[in-house]
């Protein structure tokens, strides 16, 4: 079973990653092609965080899996927005 600390740490990682991705998306839309590295890095961090959520879900109980599922949906929503509305 996943520990409460591991879930809390992952939640913080999700929040930080989403905040960073949204910031990079805004910067990218303002600077167009000049912020491609930050934009790409943000997408990579989103994917890594998504993978971390999937790994932790294997050892989570049903309540934790539901919480992780919601986190996964948040990550996917940001990823989709960034990809679909990229430059």
- The pTM for the full model equals 0.86
- Does residue 79 or residue 87 have the better pLDDT? 79
Residue 46, pLDDT score: 97
Name the one residue in this structure whose structure tokens are 């990550």. 75
Choose between 64 and 87: higher pLDDT. Answer: 64
Q: What is the pLDDT of residues 6-65, one digit of tens each?
A: 999 999 999 999 999 999 888 887 776 666 788 899 999 999 999 999 999 999 999 999
The predicted structure's pLDDT at residue 55: 95
pLDDT at residue 33 in the model: 61
> CA torsion sign, 32 to 33 to 35 to 40?
positive
């Amino acid at each position: 079973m996943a520990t409460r600390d591991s879930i809390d740490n992952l939640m913080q990682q999700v929040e930080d990653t989403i905040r960073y991705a949204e910031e990079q998306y805004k910067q990218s839309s303002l600077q167009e092609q000049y912020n491609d590295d930050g934009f790409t890095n943000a997408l990579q961090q989103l994917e890594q965080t998504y993978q971390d959520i999937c790994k932790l879900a294997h050892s989570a109980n049903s309540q934790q899996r539901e919480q992780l599922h919601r986190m996964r949906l948040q990550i996917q929503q940001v990823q989709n927005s960034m990809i679909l509305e990229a430059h």
